[in-house]
Every structure is written in structure tokens, then in C-alpha cells.
């Protein structure tokens, strides 16, 4: 019998960070990252995700709370005594050392004499064997990024921390490196904690995503879970796009809640509603744009029974190849987004046409109406 | 017309060569006259070629003694100013403390102050303290005015240094001392070296402040000044030429090293 290895668990209990100037970057936070998982901290800049990462690395001391790695408490250990390594945002490769020495740095500091074999193997893993004697500035951005990963991984850390490691790369290279990092993580089986502001990156790579906002974790779960069943307007808007419609609770009917919006009835499964529901109370009804079907108003009677419906008029349509994105004006909400796959295009669906929007109640989610309906949208970020 | 065109095309080269000649001509004169055999006590007119002075560089009374004092002061002043100046530069860039802004501007005062004013006030200070003028008062004065140059050179380098590099070192198992020795110092080294070279040249060269605070000690520039009143021995030119050659050799050496490194890396 072997006990399950949990030495790569990261446990944060009640950690917070308040800077000398009084700014609280992270509010008391509890988080457990299980051994071997790929965990992403996702949020806009300034949400406290990097501070959280730096507290795990030991580069920032928490104001309150404790950090555990496995069973070991490391809260007050300096970074060079923690079995954790970081891939920094700008890579932070040592400019005065060549690639070989950059990768060998951690081994040499721990007094390991024969580093040649290990460094060469590691450089081969990241496909940089040929570049060993070059200086960092002679490599491309993607190559530097791989050196940074190799320099951290060669130490076999219990946890690898990645601080926006792909932020400086162009889109194509970023996609490539996302797959590459995921492959390396699966291969070495180390716990990865990845900080990013790119929701697509987080969803592609991570097993579990924690969405952070203003120093707090808004919601934590698998990418599918977060996307299909967001608990707050911030998560609903920050991860992809959501249509949020204000509605009033009409009746509760078994496992479903019946809501009223603009004179029509909408059905919402009780299990998918994170808000308190009492008759007469307000709820935000959410639906993702790709879950909605569009039917021209003339064919409204062909829509199957039991679907949620809204009426509206097409305000704008943009064809983007794989799908067409519509903006619909509706009495309940003036800018509803609808994405329709270009399978059988209905030629009547042009701006100005009256349409019926309909979707399966199972895809509906409900949110507390007391929140800012625009939290996490791009407009808010720009403001 | 062809001549005008020829000139036009080579204008930059010609201007460059003229400037270089302007810079180097005094050195050439010094070198040429180190092979002179002057008639009187003054080495100001060319008489005939001779190697006498080169054969006996210390043939003039007290000259090599003053040279040795100047070299010693320059070495110690360089070490003192470089160590202190590097620490000041790091403190100014890395730490926030009270009066940081004031220190930041006050450190440049010795550079801006007329040297003769500083020399006179230093002398007043030393006399009031009852200090014995000589080697140590010169050294203290030199360290003081070299400091600002070291701080300027090192500060520029430290400011452009990414603080994440040191974090990365700490993250990769380097303790504070190792981080400093393996990462901070090597990256700041070019700035520190520039500051040190500048200090050496300034200290070795300095006449005004030294003259005020030397007491009975005679440095090489003071010796040259003194002898210029009575007659200029050819050996002065020998020492001047030798120093010029050493400087040229150092420059060539560093150029070769840099070239090798770039070629090796390419």
C-alpha cells in the first residue's frame, strides 16, 4: 500500500496581501491545487493573480494566511528554499550567461557538479540542443520562452509557476506553445499553476480554472463548468460572451423556475440558478450566443414546443466564415448576440427582419440581479 | 568637377580623419619629443634624435617617486570610489528612503562645482581639523570627487537592469550572496568598470585639488608643473608616451576580446 503522493499539492489558506500603501491586492483566499493538475488563475490585469503566484513562489510575503506545499508549510521560507520554480513573464533569462549556463543555473546553485548530461537532455526536450552556446538575446521570443521553461523544469520542482508566459508571443506561436506546455505538463506530471488574462488560453490548457476579480476568486471549476454554468455576471461576461436579460420570478414549478421577461415566459432549471428565487424577485437570465437559434417571424409556428422564446429584430449581421454573428434588438434587451453556424443559411435573416430567438431551457442559467450586469465585459475594461 | 564629387563622397571620412588628427596631434608631439635631445633645460624645440631619455626614464631626480605616489593614490582612490559609489548607486536605484531625492542631486555637486573652489574649501576643512596634509588628504579628496562619476556610471546600468533577473536567481536556489555575485554584479560590471576607469584617469590627472591639499607630498602632475617653471626634462615625455601606449594597448585588448566573443557566439 502506498499513500497517494500529495507532495505537489498547493494549499493556500486565508492568504491575503495588503501593500504598504494600503492597497489590498489579494483578499483572504482559500485555494487547493491538487498534485499533478494544470491550474489556471484567470483575470484581468490588477486582479491579484500575479500577486497570488508570487506568494506561492516566495517572492511576496502574505500579509495573512499560510502557504503549504504538500504537508510542508512554506509561508515564511525564502524563494531559494522552496521546491518551486517560476517561468517569468519576460522570461528573465540571465543576459550575461549563455543558454547552457542559464539552464544549469539552478543545478549549480544546489551544488550539483555534473550538469552536462542533464542540461543537454533538457535542451533536447525543448528542442534547443543546437543553441546551447548562444546568448539569450540571439534567440527568438519563442526560443527564449522555451529556455525559461527548461531552466525551471530541470530542477524537478514540485510545482511550476507560470506568470503570463505566453504574453509576449504572437498569436500563432502562442497557440503552438499552449499545446507544447500542455504536452510537457502531461509528460513530467508536475503541478502547473498558470497565470493568464487570456480566457481562451486558460480554457485550452487548464484542468481547473480560478477566475479572479478585484483580489477575490469569483468562481473555480473546470473550463466547461465555468463556461456553461457561470455563477456571477463577471464570470459570465469575462469567459466568452453572455446575453443577460433581467426577469422576474413568476412561479416555481418542480425543478424549473418560470420567469417573466417583457411579457413572455422563460424557463430556467432550478439547479442552474445561483440566485435566491422567491416569487416576484428579480433574476438575471443568461444564455450563450451560440445556444440560440434564429427563426424568421413568418415561420414562428414551426418552433417546437417547450423552448424559451423571445422576439426581436435583426439590427446587424456580420459574416465571419464559420458562423454569422447577429445583433438583435428585442423588447427585453437591446443588444442580444446570436451566433449561427453557417450550415443552412436562411436568406431572409438580414438586418431589419423580424425574428424569433429560441433555445432549450437546459442551456439557460440564472444569476443574482443585484450585481453589475456589465461586470467583466470589454466595455467595462475600457472604462 | 571630379574633385568636388570625390570630396562630396568622402566628406564624412575626411571630417572624421581631421577630427582624429586634432585629437591625436598633441600625443604625437609628446611622443616625438620624447626622442629629442634638447640643448638647454627646455624641451620645446627639436634638436636631434636620441634614446637617452628612454634608456633612463628615472634619470631625473624625484620624478619616479612622484609617479609612484600618483599611481598609488590613483589605485586606492579608484578602489575607494568604486566600492562606495557602487553601493550608493544601488541604494539610490533600489531603495526608497528619506532624503533620497536630495542625495540624488547632491551627489552631482562635486562634478558641477569649480574645482578650485572645492580645493580651497577642502583645505580649510583639513586645516581646521588639524589634519596632516599629505598622501591621505589627497586620497580623501580624490575619492570624494571620483564618487559622483562612479555613481553616475553605475546608476545608469542598475536602472536599466530588470529586477526580475534577481528574482529569477532567488527562485533558482541562489541565496542573497549568490544572487549578488552571480547575477547582480556581472550585469552591473560594465558600469562599474567604466566608473573605475574614469576614477583612475581623473585621480592620476588631477592637479588643482591635489596641489591645495598635498602639503609637502609631490604627485606626478605637480612634479610636471613644478619642473615646467625651471625646465622640462625629456623623461616627462617618456612617461606621457608610455601611459598613452598602455591606454591604447588596453583599448585594443578589450576590442579583440569583444570581437572574439561576438564571433564565437555567431
- My answer on whether A168 and A204 are in the same domain is yes
Outline which parts of chain B fall under CATH 1.10.3720.10: 61-232
Q: Does the residue A114 lie in any domain?
A: yes
- My answer on whether A199 and A298 are in the same domain is no
Q: Does the residue A161 lie in any domain?
A: yes
pTM: 0.80
Q: Whole-angstrom Cα distance, residue A169 to residue A160? A: 20
Residue that finishes a domain, picked among A164, A199, A228 = A228
Q: Is A105 on the interface with B (CB under 8 A)?
A: yes
Per DSSP, helices labelled H in A206-311 are 223-228, 233-238
Contact B168 A89 (CB under 8 A): no
CATH of the domain at A312: 2.40.50.100
- My answer on whether A255 and A351 are in the same domain is yes
Q: Whole-angstrom Cα distance, residue A122 to residue A337? A: 47
- My answer on whether A46 and A156 are in the same domain is yes
Q: Which residues of A touch B174 (CB under 8 A)?
A: 80, 105, 109
Q: How far is B220 from chain A (nearest CA, A)?
A: 39
pLDDT digits (tens, 9 = 90+) for B18-69: 999 999 999 999 999 999 888 877 888 888 888 888 888 888 888 889 999 9
Mean pLDDT computed over A169-182: 86
Minimal CA–CA distance to A195: which of A367, A46, A30, A372? A46
CATH of the domain at A193: 3.40.50.300
Contact A92 B170 (CB under 8 A): no
Contacts of A361 (CB under 8 A, 6+ apart): A256, A266, A267, A268, A269, A306, A307, A308
pLDDT digits (tens, 9 = 90+) for A283-296: 999 999 999 999 99
Q: Which residues of B touch A133 (CB under 8 A)?
A: 264-265
Instruction: Provide the domain limits for residue A84.
Output: 10-228
ipTM, 2 decimals? 0.81
Q: Tell me which residue in A80, A88, A134 faces B173 most closely, judged by beta carbons.
A: A80
Q: Whole-angstrom Cα distance, residue A373 to residue A369? A: 8
> Which residue of chain A has the CA closest to B167?
A59
What pLDDT band is residue B4 in, cutting at 50, 70 and 90? confident
- Quote the pLDDT of residue A383: 46
Contact A110 B173 (CB under 8 A): yes
Q: Does the residue A58 lie in any domain?
A: yes
> Which residue of chain A has the CA closest to B163?
A92
Residue A174 has pLDDT above 90, yes or no: no
- My answer on whether A252 and A200 are in the same domain is no
Q: Does the residue A5 lie in any domain?
A: no
- Quote the pLDDT of residue B264: 57
Q: How far is A41 from chain B (nearest CA, A)?
A: 20
Count A/B contacts: CB-CB distance under 8 Å. 68
- Quote the pLDDT of residue A326: 94
Q: Does the residue A141 lie in any domain?
A: yes
Q: Does the residue A237 lie in any domain?
A: no
- My answer on whether A250 and A358 are in the same domain is yes
Q: Does the residue A235 lie in any domain?
A: no
Round the average pLDDT of chain A to a whole number and report it.
89
Q: How far is B263 from chain A (nearest CA, A)?
A: 11
Contacts of A2 (CB under 8 A, 6+ apart): none
Residue that finishes a domain, picked among A228, A263, A295 = A228
- Quote the pLDDT of residue A340: 92
Q: Tell me which residue in A78, A90, A109 faces B164 most closely, judged by beta carbons.
A: A90
B61-232, CATH topology level: MetI-like fold (1.10.3720)
- My answer on whether A185 and A249 are in the same domain is no
Q: How far is A11 from chain B (nearest CA, A)?
A: 19
Q: Does the residue A4 lie in any domain?
A: no
- Eight-class DSSP state of B183: I
Contact B168 A79 (CB under 8 A): no
Q: Is A59 on the interface with B (CB under 8 A)?
A: yes
What pLDDT band is residue A381 in, cutting at 50, 70 and 90? low
Per DSSP, helices labelled H in chain A are 49-57, 99-109, 116-125, 141-153, 171-188, 199-205, 223-228, 233-238, 378-382
Q: How many domains does chain A have?
A: 2
Amino acid at each position: 500500500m502506498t499513500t497517494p503522493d500529495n507532495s505537489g499539492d498547493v494549499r493556500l489558506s486565508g492568504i491575503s496581501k495588503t501593500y504598504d500603501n494600503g492597497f489590498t491586492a489579494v483578499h483572504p483566499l482559500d485555494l487547493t491545487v491538487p498534485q499533478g493538475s494544470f491550474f489556471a488563475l484567470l483575470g484581468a490585469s490588477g486582479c491579484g493573480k500575479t500577486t497570488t503566484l508570487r506568494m506561492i513562489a516566495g517572492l511576496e510575503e502574505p500579509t495573512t494566511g499560510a502557504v503549504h506545499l504538500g504537508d510542508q508549510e512554506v509561508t515564511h521560507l525564502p524563494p531559494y528554499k522552496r521546491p518551486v520554480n517560476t517561468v517569468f513573464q519576460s522570461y528573465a533569462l540571465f543576459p550575461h550567461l549563455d543558454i547552457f549556463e542559464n539552464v544549469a543555473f539552478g543545478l549549480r546553485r544546489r551544488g550539483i557538479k555534473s550538469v552536462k548530461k542533464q542540461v543537454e537532455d533538457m535542451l533536447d526536450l525543448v528542442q534547443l540542443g543546437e543553441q546551447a552556446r548562444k546568448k539569450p538575446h540571439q534567440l527568438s521570443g519563442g526560443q527564449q520562452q522555451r529556455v525559461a521553461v527548461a531552466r525551471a523544469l530541470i530542477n524537478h520542482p514540485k510545482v511550476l509557476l507560470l506568470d503570463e508566459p505566453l504574453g509576449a508571443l504572437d498569436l500563432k506561436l502562442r497557440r503552438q506553445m499552449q499545446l507544447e506546455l500542455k504536452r510537457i505538463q502531461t509528460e513530467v506530471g508536475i503541478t502547473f499553476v498558470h497565470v493568464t488574462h487570456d480566457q481562451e488560453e486558460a480554457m485550452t490548457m487548464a484542468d481547473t480554472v480560478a477566475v479572479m476579480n478585484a483580489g477575490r476568486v469569483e468562481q473555480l471549476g473546470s473550463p466547461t463548468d465555468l463556461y456553461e454554468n457561470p455563477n456571477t455576471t463577471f464570470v459570465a461576461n469575462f469567459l466568452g460572451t453572455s446575453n443577460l436579460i433581467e426577469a422576474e420570478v413568476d412561479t416555481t414549478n418542480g425543478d424549473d423556475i418560470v420567469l417573466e421577461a417583457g411579457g413572455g415566459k422563460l424557463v430556467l432549471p432550478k439547479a442552474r440558478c445561483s440566485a435566491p428565487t422567491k416569487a416576484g424577485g428579480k433574476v438575471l437570465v443568461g444564455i450563450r450566443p451560440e445556444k440560440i437559434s434564429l427563426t424568421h417571424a413568418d415561420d414562428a409556428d414551426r418552433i417546437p414546443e417547450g423552448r424559451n422564446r423571445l422576439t426581436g429584430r435583426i439590427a446587424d449581421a456580420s459574416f465571419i466564415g464559420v458562423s454569422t454573428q447577429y445583433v438583435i434588438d428585442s423588447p427585453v434587451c437591446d443588444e442580444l448576440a446570436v451566433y449561427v453556424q453557417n450550415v443552412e443559411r436562411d436568406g431572409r435573416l438580414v438586418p431589419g427582419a423580424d425574428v424569433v430567438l429560441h433555445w432549450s431551457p437546459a442551456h439557460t442559467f440564472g444569476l443574482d440581479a443585484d450585481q453589475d450586469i456589465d461586470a467583466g465585459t470589454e466595455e467595462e475594461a475600457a472604462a | 568637377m571630379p574633385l568636388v564629387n570625390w570630396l562630396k563622397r568622402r566628406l564624412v571620412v575626411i571630417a572624421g580623419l581631421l577630427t582624429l588628427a586634432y585629437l591625436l596631434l598633441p600625443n604625437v608631439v609628446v611622443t616625438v619629443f620624447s626622442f629629442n635631445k634638447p640643448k638647454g633645460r627646455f624641451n620645446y624645440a627639436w634638436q636631434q634624435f636620441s634614446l637617452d631619455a628612454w634608456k633612463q626614464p628615472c634619470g631625473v631626480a624625484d620624478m619616479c617617486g612622484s609617479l609612484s605616489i600618483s599611481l598609488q593614490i590613483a589605485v586606492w582612490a579608484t578602489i575607494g570610489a568604486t566600492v562606495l559609489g557602487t553601493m550608493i548607486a544601488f541604494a539610490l536605484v533600489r531603495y526608497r528612503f528619506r532624503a533620497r531625492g536630495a542625495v540624488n542631486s547632491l551627489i552631482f555637486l562635486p562634478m558641477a562645482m569649480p574645482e578650485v573652489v572645492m580645493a580651497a574649501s577642502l583645505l580649510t576643512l583639513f586645516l581646521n581639523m588639524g589634519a596632516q596634509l599629505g598622501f591621505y588628504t589627497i586620497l580623501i579628496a580624490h575619492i570624494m570627487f571620483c564618487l559622483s562619476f562612479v555613481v553616475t556610471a553605475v546608476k545608469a546600468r542598475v536602472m536599466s537592469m530588470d529586477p526580475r533577473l534577481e528574482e529569477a536567481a532567488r527562485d533558482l536556489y541562489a541565496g542573497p550572496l549568490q544572487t549578488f555575485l552571480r547575477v547582480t554584479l556581472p550585469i552591473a560590471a560594465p558600469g562599474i568598470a567604466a566608473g573605475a576607469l574614469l576614477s583612475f584617469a581623473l585621480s592620476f590627472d588631477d592637479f588643482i585639488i591635489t596641489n591645495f591639499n598635498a602639503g609637502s607630498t609631490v604627485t606626478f602632475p605637480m612634479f610636471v608643473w613644478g619642473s615646467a617653471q625651471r625646465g622640462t626634462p625629456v623623461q616627462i615625455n617618456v612617461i606621457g608616451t608610455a601611459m598613452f601606449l598602455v591606454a591604447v594597448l588596453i583599448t585594443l585588448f578589450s576590442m579583440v576580446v569583444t570581437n572574439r566573443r561576438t564571433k564565437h557566439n555567431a
